[in-house]
Amino acid sequence: MKTLLLPSALVDSSWLAEHLHHPDLVVLDASWHMPAAKRSGEQEWRQQRIPGARFFDFDSKIKDNDSSLPHMLPSEAQFSQQVSELGLSNHHHIVIYDSSGMFAAPRAWWMLRAMGHEKVAVLDGGLPAWIQQGYALESGEPAVVSPGHFVAHRQADWIADATQVQTALSQSDTRVLDARSRERFSGQAADPRPGVRPGHMPGAHCLPFGELLEQGHFLPSELLAQKLALHLAPEQGLICSCGSGVTAAILALAANLTGHKQVAVYDGSWTEWGGNPDLPVVTDN
């Protein structure tokens, strides 16, 4: 069998269908929805999924259980153990999708990159695109998988904390981009989480993640580059933020796809920043 090679950090349904049964490929379903949606990604995965897909639960399992913030990155040891239990090993090529098209899968992509795994891509258009093209699905109780051997190596340059963000906001060599809606960024809309202030970090730029997408697919690369170029110079580093570190990863993936090398996600994002009265917040009111 031919050696597997991911074409980029983004693959389409036809590529995945062609390589689905390669022994070095693992498919992960990372579906997640905002709490107000009252939908369960895991339930959806059990009801219908790409054949062989395993559920990557970054919201209630593969997360830092000692943090009060939602779905923060766990330790290397915890990540290694839980990913190994999913049957993953360091030699695997991983393709991640979600049931929304393009929403939560980039978060799982970023987590794997932040833990040192480079052979990982996101399915453009997600499960809706797979279904639209008529490819097979499976449902019900998944097959038991043999444990893998995955050793995580945390990559500090992929991860930003509040202190690093605060420093970056005052420096011209790094841009902080916020993926939230313009209404939440400006402070015109209240934050959905109790106790979190409206507004944004002084000096941050707003690029709502939906402006990089069309019907669950990324815009063509040249259009992505144009959107990012309005905020980000080629030589600048990038820190991506959002509400809780999920859609920030959409910006990070877009930057990666368009050739930006210094890309990090602020893991605590606005839930941490807006909830901490010691950190500065501004509004456009």
Q: Do the Cβ atoms of 205 and 229 come closer than 8 Å? A: no
Taking the alpha carbons at both ends of the chain, their separation in whole angstroms is: 60
SS3 121: strand
Q: Do the Cβ atoms of 108 and 59 come closer than 8 Å? A: no
Task: Please state, in angstroms and rounded to a whole number, the distance separating the CA atoms of residues 237 and 231.
Answer: 11
- Amino acid (one-letter) located at 227: K
The DSSP symbol for 164 reads H
Sign of the CA dihedral running 257, 260, 261, 262: negative
Paired tokens of 18: 């062609």
- Amino acid (one-letter) located at 117: H
How many percent of the chain have pLDDT more than 70? 100
Q: Assess whether 242 carries a catalytic annotation.
A: yes
Phi, psi of 166 (to 5 degrees): -60, -40
- Total number of residues shown for the chain: 285
- Amino acid (one-letter) located at 61: K
| 1, pLDDT greater than 80 | no
pTM: 0.97
Least confident segment among 26-40, 199-213, 247-261: 26-40
- Check 11, 123, 225, 242 and give the catalytic one: 242
CA distances from 241 to 9, 70, 208, 274 (A): 20, 14, 10, 12
Sorted by sequence, the CB contacts under 8 Å of residue 152 that are 6+ apart come out as 76, 77, 79, 80, 83, 115, 116, 117
221-229 vs 248-257: helix axis angle to the nearest 10? Answer: 110
Q: Do the Cβ atoms of 11 and 25 come closer than 8 Å? A: no
Q: Calculate the dihedral angle through the C-alpha atoms of 223, 224, 226, 228, rounding to the nearest 10 degrees.
A: 170
| 75, pLDDT greater than 80 | yes
Q: Do the Cβ atoms of 35 and 153 come closer than 8 Å? A: no
Summarised one tens digit per residue, pLDDT across range 5-28 is 999 999 999 999 999 999 999 999
The DSSP symbol for 3 reads P
How many C-beta neighbours within 10 Å does residue 81 have? 15
How is 32-89 classified by DSSP, letter by letter? ---GGG---HHHHHHHSBSTT-EE--TTTTSS-TT-SSTT----HHHHHHHHHHTT--
Q: Look up tokens 């060599």; give the residue.
A: 173
Q: Which residues pair with 26 in a beta bridge?
A: 94
Which of 196, 197, 250, 206 lies closest to 232 in space, CA to CA? 206
Ranges of H-type helices in 90-203: 105-114, 126-132, 162-169, 182-186
Least confident segment among 31-45, 103-117, 131-145, 265-279: 31-45
Summarised one tens digit per residue, pLDDT across range 221-276 is 999 999 999 999 999 999 999 999 999 999 999 999 999 999 999 999 999 999 99
